[in-house]
């Protein structure tokens, strides 16, 4: 014969366990017996953490009601329990808050969260677990994503979950941290690097065409900028007299991080290319052809320029120009801090590096002059 067992929870007041379920169990004060009866016993949840939170909230609501010494009107206990349940913590809502607070480009974390939703559904963020992290990892690998991409997706989700845990005061391990990825790094493909002769060849063709899209090659190759940083420039961000551009976030284009905001000198082919592009614009955005719904769509520009580069230079892409720039700066023994400052990379140096005042425009120009390419 089955007998149910129940025990009082010694850590949480008014909470008892019965057959794996948590119940709220509390004696009612004498003056409120007419409204509630002598005892309140109601099932809360099979999840201890949820039950503890509901019990805490329910107790608080009851105590407010019981402050009325002449309470005689009946109370809808079910409605009171429902009102005491914590609101659902949507991963999508935490994604939006995290992106806004950090001022991030929303696309990478959104792509990561959408992938997770396809795998486990729109779960409450407090219910996510290690199996969900493994499921996301398997899904991305089976989809053909490189291990580096999988790591970035996991990192995005992990950062959002960590933020939510801190705000909700959840003391548990982040299930998306330190996830092992089978064969991580084995599928890495070294990015192509342009030779100086390839750069010269591409620059010549770009200048001969006069096409602002092809002119992205010298603009990217000689500044080390990200594609979105150049494509999202406004005419007002370009100072041809000072021979410089200023990269700042605006409504149509975010920057990758706060460290990406910077001023860069235009030297050599970068200045000549920028002058040609600006001459075709009076105001607004340099590449307004990619403006859609108030946002610069850099992907379209990337597809166009990379298609040309891949065909002409053995599969190399626009992003390869950024890696080539870094190699070229190292080749002239440019200090790492300066390279990071020019390209907007996160510095891996010491605390002193992170809190440095920065480099002035002319200091940057002197180093960029060392890699200027002659086309004659």
The reply to whether 122 falls in a domain is yes
Tell me how crowded residue 157 is: count the other CB atoms within 10 A of its CB: 26
Residue 347 CA, chain-centre distance (Å), reads 19
161 and 231 in a single domain? The answer is no
Q: What is the pLDDT of residue 105?
A: 79
3-class SS of residue 252: coil
265 and 308 in a single domain? The answer is yes
Residue 293 CA, chain-centre distance (Å), reads 22
* Residues 93-135 pLDDT 10s: 899 999 988 877 788 899 999 999 999 998 889 889 999 999 9
Can you count the helices (H) and strands (E) in the chain? 16, 9
The reply to whether 191 falls in a domain is no
Q: What is the pLDDT of residue 3?
A: 40
236 and 218 in a single domain? The answer is yes
Of the two residues 356 and 91, the one the predictor is more confident about is 91
* Residues 270-288 pLDDT 10s: 999 999 999 988 778 999 9
The reply to whether 53 falls in a domain is yes
Provide the pLDDT confidence category of residue 50 given band limits of 50, 70 and 90: confident
The reply to whether 281 falls in a domain is yes
* Residues 68-81 pLDDT 10s: 877 767 778 888 88
User: What is the overall mean pLDDT for the chain?
Assistant: 87
The reply to whether 175 falls in a domain is no
202 and 344 in a single domain? The answer is yes
Q: Contacts by 230-234 with C-beta closer than 8 Å and gap 24+? A: 230/286, 230/287, 231/286, 231/287, 231/290, 231/296, 231/298, 231/301, 232/285, 232/287, 232/296, 232/298, 233/285, 233/286, 233/287, 234/284, 234/285, 234/286
Q: How many CA atoms lie within 13 A of 36 on its CB side?
A: 23
- Copy the structure tokens of residue 85: 């349940």
235 and 321 in a single domain? The answer is yes
Q: What is the pLDDT of residue 7?
A: 52
* Residues 195-217 pLDDT 10s: 999 999 999 999 999 999 999 99
The reply to whether 250 falls in a domain is yes
Q: Write the Ramachandran bin of 17: left for phi over 0, alpha for psi from -120 to 50, otherwise beta.
A: beta
The DSSP H or E segment spanning 298 is helix 298-312
Tell me how crowded residue 238 is: count the other CB atoms within 10 A of its CB: 19
276 and 351 in a single domain? The answer is yes
What are the start-end ranges of the E strands in the chain? 6-8, 15-18, 21-27, 39-45, 238-239, 244-247, 262-265, 291-292, 295-296
42 and 77 in a single domain? The answer is yes
> What is d(CA 179, CA 190) in angstroms, rounded to the nearest whole number?
24
State how beta strands 15-18 and 291-292 pair. Answer: unpaired
If one counts the domains in the chain, the total is: 3
- Copy the structure tokens of residue 336: 């790492």
Name the domain boundary from 56, 84, 112: 84
- Show Cβ contacts of residue 1 under 8 Å, excluding neighbours closer than 6 positions: none
Q: What is the pLDDT of residue 340?
A: 92
Q: What is the pLDDT of residue 153?
A: 95
The reply to whether 309 falls in a domain is yes
CATH number of the CATH domain containing 291: 1.10.443.10
Output the CA angle 175-155-256, nearest 5 degrees: 150
Residue 150 sits in which domain range?
91-168
200 and 240 in a single domain? The answer is yes
209 and 136 in a single domain? The answer is no
Q: What is the pLDDT of residue 64?
A: 87
Alpha-carbon separation of residue 20 from 26, 56, 69, 73 (angstroms):
19, 19, 36, 33
């Amino acid at each position: 014969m089955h007998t149910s067992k129940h025990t009082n929870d010694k850590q949480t007041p008014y909470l008892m366990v019965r057959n794996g379920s948590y119940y709220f169990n509390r004696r009612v004060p004498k003056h409120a017996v007419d409204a509630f009866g002598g005892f309140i016993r109601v099932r809360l949840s099979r999840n201890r953490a949820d039950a503890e939170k509901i019990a805490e909230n329910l107790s608080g609501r009851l105590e407010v009601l019981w402050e009325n010494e002449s309470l005689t009107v009946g109370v809808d206990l079910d409605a009171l329990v429902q009102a005491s349940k914590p609101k659902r913590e949507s991963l999508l809502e935490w994604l939006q808050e995290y992106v806004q607070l950090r001022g991030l480009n929303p696309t990478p974390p959104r792509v990561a969260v959408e992938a997770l939703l396809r795998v486990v559904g729109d779960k409450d963020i407090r219910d996510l677990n290690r199996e969900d992290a493994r499921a996301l990892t398997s899904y991305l690998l089976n989809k053909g994503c490189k291990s580096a991409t999988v790591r970035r997706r996991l990192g995005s989700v992990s950062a959002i979950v960590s933020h939510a845990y801190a705000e909700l005061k959840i003391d548990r391990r982040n299930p998306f941290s330190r996830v092992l990825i089978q064969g991580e790094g084995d599928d890495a493909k070294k990015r192509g690097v342009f030779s100086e002769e390839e750069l010269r060849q591409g620059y010549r063709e770009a200048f001969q065409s006069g096409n602002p899209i092809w002119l992205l090659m010298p603009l990217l190759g000689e500044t080390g900028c990200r594609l979105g940083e150049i494509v999202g420039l406004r005419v007002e961000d370009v100072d041809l007299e000072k021979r410089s551009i200023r990269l700042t976030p605006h409504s149509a284009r975010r920057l990758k991080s706060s460290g990406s905001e910077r001023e860069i000198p235009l030297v050599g082919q970068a200045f000549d290319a920028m002058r040609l592009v600006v001459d075709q614009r009076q105001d607004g955005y340099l590449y307004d052809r990619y403006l859609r719904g108030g946002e610069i769509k850099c992907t379209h520009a990337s597809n166009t320029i990379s298609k040309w580069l891949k065909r002409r230079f053995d599969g190399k892409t626009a992003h390869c120009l950024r890696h080539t720039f870094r190699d070229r700066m190292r080749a002239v023994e440019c200090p790492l801090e300066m390279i990071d400052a020019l390209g907007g990379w996160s510095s891996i140096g010491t605390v002193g590096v992170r809190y440095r005042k920065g480099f002035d425009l002319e200091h940057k120009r002197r180093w960029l002059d060392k890699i200027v390419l002659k086309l004659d």
